[in-house]
Structure 1
Amino acid sequence: MAIFEKTSQTKAIVDDTEKLICVVENAQNINKHTEYVLRVQRGPCKENKWNVPRRYRDFAALHSSLQPANIALPLPPKKLIGNMQPSFIAERQIALQNYINEVLKHQILALSLQVRSFLDPNNYSLNITEQALQTMSIALRGHGRYELKCPLSDVGWRIRKHYFLVTDAESRTNCLLSWQNYGPDKYLSEKEMQTAFKSLLNISHPYIDQILAIHNLETGAYVVRRIHENGSLRDMLYGTDYDKNYLSKYGNPKVRKPLTDGQISHYGYQMLQALKFLHDKGLPHGHIHPGNIAIENQRVLLMDIENIIIGVPCLYRPQLLELRRTATAEAVDVYCFGHTLYEMAFARPLHDHYCDIYPDGISNELESVLRLCLSSTSCKHGGPSLLHLLAHPFFSRAPLNGLTSMHDDERAHLKFPLPIKDELKAAVAQMESRLKSDQKLVRSTKREVRIQEILSSEEELRKQKRRAKKRESVWKSTSSLAETVRSQSASTASSPTPPSIPGEPTGNGACTPASGAAAGITPPAGAARESSGRAALLDAICSFDKSRLARVNSR
């Protein structure tokens, strides 16, 4: 058993936000059924790819599991007769490629466990939830304070984050427990992480949610918080409950409730205050989105501040990889804050990595803030700072309403030991370095693709030139052959001219050489040669035998 545990520890941690690229490469008939071979690539690295064989019924099962999202997907229909014909298999292969392209186009589907296990069965097992339940059952037995009631399956977007309903044995109240496996950006040791979690237990800030319990285990950490009955900010935007299935809640919601400019200014200012506090303490958030923000009594409560320590990737990491300058921890928080404001304003997420065009009716000040965070120009230069955003007119008027000012009994507090501060700083620097290297890899991959497209276009142009030259040479040879045939046909159609009899005048009154000599006229040497050549030509014409000619088709 110890051998298997060691193997699992040394296994590389997979980044669950990396894009998967799938190509239906070919189809093969095996045991009277057709298997389609999928070539899957994770991320921009071309070496990180593998093949997965799938039948049509596997695609149908995937399609059925994605139905709660209420997103129209073009799965080709089933066919019972003639489904083994090569022409039909070729058509279905194209249709399945269109289907998988449409699935991966939606981020909410591309990040789901159903799609990941379909394309990458080695790294994503469907019994992940059962493993998490077993881990929490064992861990809570030793804790003693919290009793496990039931799992809340598929509540959040993270594949390796699981939610459970627990009961506090002291107060007999229900709480929410979340279990999260470590991510690829985990750089603290087990002892350092335990010390950092103790500091998070004592955090006090009016705009940061309180942590009731937090513990790190060998493969992950679990956090206990109180339940927010209204759900997260995203639940409020789409009018749903916190304990429903993630795909059904956010896939294609029927209800959309965007916030007013006043609400956005009010809540946005509170978010910036909490982010500024965390950065001053050396703990950036890095994961701001409407799903980890709660609203209670007109007050923002940031959650999941422990994610930066656990090392899990950000929801907007696929968009961050498309940027060049947005790589520092503060720039990432500002960029995620901009995405959050966009979803608050329009009740729909921004899927592109920048936005330069906004719908009509948006206020100038809100558009100015969104452009500072999300415009292509701002993203090229790293975006504004948190202080710059706090000084923006859209947020500077928020403290005037009296709800955003801190009271004397709400003093902000978070203190890390000095060694942990240094380790956190080093961990954040390593996280930024990994982000920069991945951004560079994406840019180099795009550059290679562009170069390949240019080379392929030039090669195609050369091929076209070679084809044109070949057609021209064939045309020339065909034309010369036709000209030869026409000349031969014309010569065979005309009868030879009989030679003139010596001593007799020709039809035009000219004299033959013999008559000229008889008349005492001596022709010059050139004229004699010309006369002899003409006589030889006339003799050849007279001796011409048409039967010796080869038969030629004049067509």
Structure 2
Amino acid sequence: MSVLETSRVSVLDDTTPLYCIIQGSENVQSHTEFIVRVQRGELKENSWVIRKRYSDFATLVETLKISGMDLPLPPKKLIGNMEREFIAERQRGLQRLLETILANPMLAASEIVKKFLDANSYTTNIPEAALQNVSMFFRSEPHWEVVEPLKEMGWRLRKTYFLIKPKDQPKRRLLLSWTVHGPDRLLSEKDITGIFKLLPNLQHPSISSTQHAMTNETGGLTIKQFYMNGTLRDHLCKTKPMKAHYLKKYCAPKAVSQLSVAQTRQFCRQILEMLKFLHEKGLACHHLHTGNLVIEDKVIKLLDIENYLLGVPPFYKPFYTQFRKINSAESIDVYSFGHVLYEMVFGRPLNKPTIEELPPELPAEIRSVLESILTVEACKLGLPTLEGLLMHPLFVDEVVVTVGIKPQLKIPSKLKETLRQYKDNQQKKLKEEQKVISQNRRLSKAKAHHSSDEERRRRKLEARRKSAKKLEGVKEETPSPTTNGGNEESSAASEQSSASPAPPAPPPPPTVPSLDENDEDEDDSPPLSNPSSDRGALLSSIQGFKKASLKKSQD
């Protein structure tokens, strides 16, 4: 049984965060170019340098105005814009601009920002490639036809939507989605084709039914019901699915709505029941967010369940990969559920991995669930299970609204084993990624601490203390010329008078100037006869010694 595809072209993970540092600037002819180092993920090996003018940044901000966000572009200056101080100030302002853009998940994931920072990786015309694959599908399935492409729908760069209709029902509208295989695809083409054939047979009140599903070596195609009122995110942002670009609808909506406590309790119970069903069948969701949920007749439904099978990276992956305890399929779905609950309650996405504080007026039961999932402590120590959440006081007594659909999905035993291995391999891959992230962050923290001003001052003080201690030790070992020196020489002279034969005279102390080269015969002189003489007499005798006055010895 083939589960892993070893020989496959690497696919770029569009959810991997990009980090930018403006390293400097350079005057080129009559303008200034800023040198920007861009890094994908935690590894420095995945970095490159781009050069941008101020006008490039201004064009980027102008394009992103569709989001409605107030982006901090430094002001323009006509006179004096080549001065060193002004360029340095502008560089700091542009750095703040990049950090603001990349801190927003919607903006950071947009094609506009990706092409600005990494143009070489986004040269393919993805909608055109999607249209080619869809056209090939319609050749084999002629009873459908395209009404129009939905270019403004969805935030994923490699997922394209088309509004279609059956030829025998021209007024009916369905939604066709084409998704390119993701970097987390670990199923063989044969296995994924077999599992995709099961999707139209999947029945659950909280999962949108699939009319048709097929895959090829490039990606997967599904046809589902088109929901005119849009997703849960459209409901919260008070917008319609086909009215505007997703950046305009979701980044900074003018008004938002929240769900009532009763609605939140009911919809969350339905979501938890749906997730439990998927995991019992050997599947998972991984893509639970308000843009992938719809509300129909008081029932909330999951849309794109196929993303899990196609290896598409989840929306919240940059968040949960920071916590090594969130490493299983169930913990990923529980973490995503926490973000959905937060957005239901407040009407806006959290846009960061964890919560810092919650308003005091928040109901205690909702606060308890959010704190058990989205606090730093919960993410580091471990999240609750799906079963544990279903038993929480917020949901345990809630009766699920049914619509007469009995949950059902029959999976052959061979594919059950394939799905089990697929889930295990995904978990291993995630743990490896989290290990690399953790190691690089520890290294970065150590380097930052080592180069911090406080640590530099500490090292300087420590070096000074060691130097002072060393000097004190040298002073203690060095004899004093007025006290210790005389005593040492007196002791040495006493030893000489008592020893047989007598050793040569000791060398002068360090403070005495060196003698001339004739003193190299000093070892042949007789021992001093007056050990009690003071230091001055000894030095005078040594300096007055003349070799010429010696007589030759008689044999």
Q: TM-score range by the shorter chain?
A: 0.7 to 0.9
1:411 paired with 2:410, answer: no
Residue aligning to 1:189: 188
Q: Deviations over 1:431-465 (max 9, x none)?
A: 11222122222221221122112322434544578
| 1:326 counterpart = 2:322 | no
**Residue 367 of structure 2: aligned partner:** 367
Deviation at residue 312 of structure 1 after TM alignment: 0.6
Deviation at 1:131, TM superposition (A): 2.9
- For 1:304 and 1:382, how far apart are their aligned partners in 2? 27
Q: 1:393 to 1:83 in 2, by over 3 A?
A: same
Question: Which of 411, 436, 439 is 1:441 aligned to?
Answer: 436
Q: Which residue of 2 is the match for residue 171 of structure 1?
A: 169
Instruction: Give 1:96's aligned residue.
Output: 94
1:74 Cα deviation from its structure 2 partner: 0.9
Q: Which has the larger radius of gyration?
A: 1
Match of 1:335 in 2: 335
| Cα distance in 2, alignment partners of residues 277 and 398 from structure 1 | 17
**Is the partner of 2:337 in helix, strand or coil?**
helix
The alignment status of 1:420 with 2:415, answered yes or no, reads yes
Q: Counterpart of 2:292 in structure 1: which amino acid?
A: N
Matched with 2:51 is 53
Same amino acid, percent of matched pairs: 41
What amino acid sits opposite 2:329 in the alignment?
A: A
Q: Name which of 121, 125, 128 aligns with 2:126.
A: 128
Q: Distance in 2 between matches of 1:366 and 1:315?
A: 23
Structure 1 residue 466: Cα displacement: 7.6
Give the letter for the 1:184 counterpart. P
State which drifts further: 388-397 or 127-136.
127-136
- 1:249-264 correspondence runs (5 A): 249-264=249-264
Q: Is contact 1:323-1:353 (8 Å) kept?
A: no
Are 2:113 and 1:118 equivalent residues in the alignment? no
**Corresponding residue for residue 475 of structure 2:** none
Q: Distance in 1 between matches of 2:364 and 2:386?
A: 20
Aligned to 2:234: 235
TM-superposed deviation, 1:254: 1.0
Q: Which residue of 1 aligns with 2:472?
A: none
CA contact (8 A) 1:186 1:309 kept: yes
Does residue 1:153 correspond to 2:154, yes or no?
no
Deviation per CA, 1:143-181: give whole Å up to 9, x if none. Answer: 212212221113212111111111222322221111111
Amino acid at match of 2:181: Y
**Quick check: 369-378 or 441-450, which moved more?**
369-378
Shift of 1:84: 3.3
Deviation of the 1:398 alpha carbon: 1.6
1:454 aligns with 2:453: no
Q: Where does residue 215 of structure 1 map in the other structure?
A: 214
* Alpha-carbon separation, structure 1, partners of 2:367 and 2:42: 33
CA distance in structure 1 between the aligned counterparts of 2:381 and 2:458, rounded to whole angstroms: 39
Give the direction of change, closer, same or farther, for the CA distance of 1:156–1:354 in structure 2 (3 Å limit). same
* Structure 1 residue aligned with 2:386: 386
Q: Check conservation: 1:356, 1:371, Cα contact below 8 A.
A: no
Name the CA shift for 1:29/1:179 in 2 (closer, same or farther; >3 Å).
same
- Deviation, 1:375, is 2.6
Q: Deviations over 1:519-547 (max 9, x none)?
A: xxxxxxxxxxxxxxxxxxxxxxxxxxxxx
Higher alpha-carbon deviation: 133-142 or 458-467 = 458-467
Deviations 1:379-415 (A, max 9, x none): 223211111111122112221xxx52464xx221112
* Greater Cα shift, 116-125 or 339-348: 116-125
Q: Distance in 2 between matches of 1:241 and 1:106?
A: 22
Structure 2: runs of 5 or more not aligned: 1-6, 468-555
Alpha-carbon deviation of 1:241? 0.5
Q: What's the secondary structure of 1:212's corresponding residue?
A: strand
In structure 1, what is the Cα distance between the partners aligned to 2:78 and 2:125?
33
Structure 1: how far apart are the matches of 2:104 and 2:457?
A: 34
CA distance in 1, matches of 2:325, 2:302: 26
Corresponding residue SS for 2:194: helix
Distance 1:91 1:405 in 2: 61
**How far apart are residue 225 of structure 1 and its match?**
1.0
Query: TM-score normalised to the size of structure 2?
Result: 0.78
Which segment is superposed worse, 126-135 or 186-195?
A: 126-135
* Residue of structure 2 equivalent to 1:508: none
SS class of match (1:92): helix
The SS at the match of 1:224 is strand
Farther-moved stretch of structure 1 (358-367 vs 301-310): 358-367
For residue 469 of structure 1, report the CA deviation from its aligned partner. 12
Q: Is the 8 A contact 2:206 2:299 kept in 1?
A: yes
Which position in structure 2 is the counterpart of 1:477? none
> Which stretches of structure 1, 4 residues or longer, exceed 4 Å deviation after superposition?
463-470
How far apart, CA to CA, are the structure 2 residues paired with 1:128 and 1:62?
Answer: 21
Preserved CA contact (<8 Å) 1:154 1:162: no
Q: Secondary structure at the match of 1:395?
A: coil
Aligned residues: 457
Give the Cα separation in 2 of the matches to 1:72 and 1:469. 54
Pairwise CA distance, 1:314: 0.8
Cα deviation code 1:107-163 (max 9, x no counterpart):
111111111111111112373333323332343233212212221113212111111
Q: In the aligned structure 2, how far is the partner of 1:242 from the partner of 1:384?
A: 34
Q: Distance in 2 between matches of 1:425 and 1:199?
A: 16
- Structure 2 SS opposite 1:352: coil
How far apart are the structure 2 equivalents of 1:461 and 1:367? 43
Shift of 1:35: 2.0
Residues 415-424 or 258-267, more deviating = 415-424
Matched to 1:211, the amino acid is T
Q: Distance in 2 between matches of 1:152 and 1:463?
A: 63
Distance between the aligned counterparts of 1:187 and 1:208, measured in 2?
A: 24
> Structure 1 residues 137 and 61 mapped into 2: Cα distance closer, same or farther (>3 Å)?
farther
Q: Which moved more, 1:348-357 or 1:360-369?
A: 348-357
Deviations along 1:79-113, one digit per CA (max 9) or x if unpaired, are: 33433343433332222112111111111111111
- Aligned 1:21-60 pairs, distance under 5 A: 21-60=19-58
Q: CA deviation at 1:290?
A: 0.7
TM, length-normalised to structure 1: 0.78
Is the Cα contact below 8 Å between 1:326 and 1:332 reproduced in 2? yes
1:272 to partner: Cα distance? 0.8
Query: Secondary structure of 1:178's partner?
Result: strand
Q: Is this contact kept in 1: 2:205–2:402, CA < 8 A?
A: no
Q: Which runs of structure 2 are paired with 1:71-82 in the superposition (5 Å)?
A: 71-82=69-80
2:52 maps to amino acid:
R
Q: Could you tell me how far apart the structure 2 residues matched to 1:234 and 1:84 are? A: 46
CA deviations on 1:262-291 (whole Å, 9 max, x unpaired) are 000100111111111111100111111111
Compare 305-314 and 455-464 and name the one that shifted more: 455-464
63-72 or 368-377, which moves further after superposition? 368-377
Q: Distance in 1 between matches of 2:286 and 2:227?
A: 22
CA contact (8 A) 2:298 2:401 kept: no
State the secondary structure of the residue aligned to 1:301: strand
User: Counterparts of 1:103 and 1:467 in 2: how far apart (Å)?
Assistant: 45
Aligned to 2:521: none
Asked whether the 8 Å contact 1:342–1:349 carries over to 2, the reply is: yes
Superposition RMSD in Å: 2.1
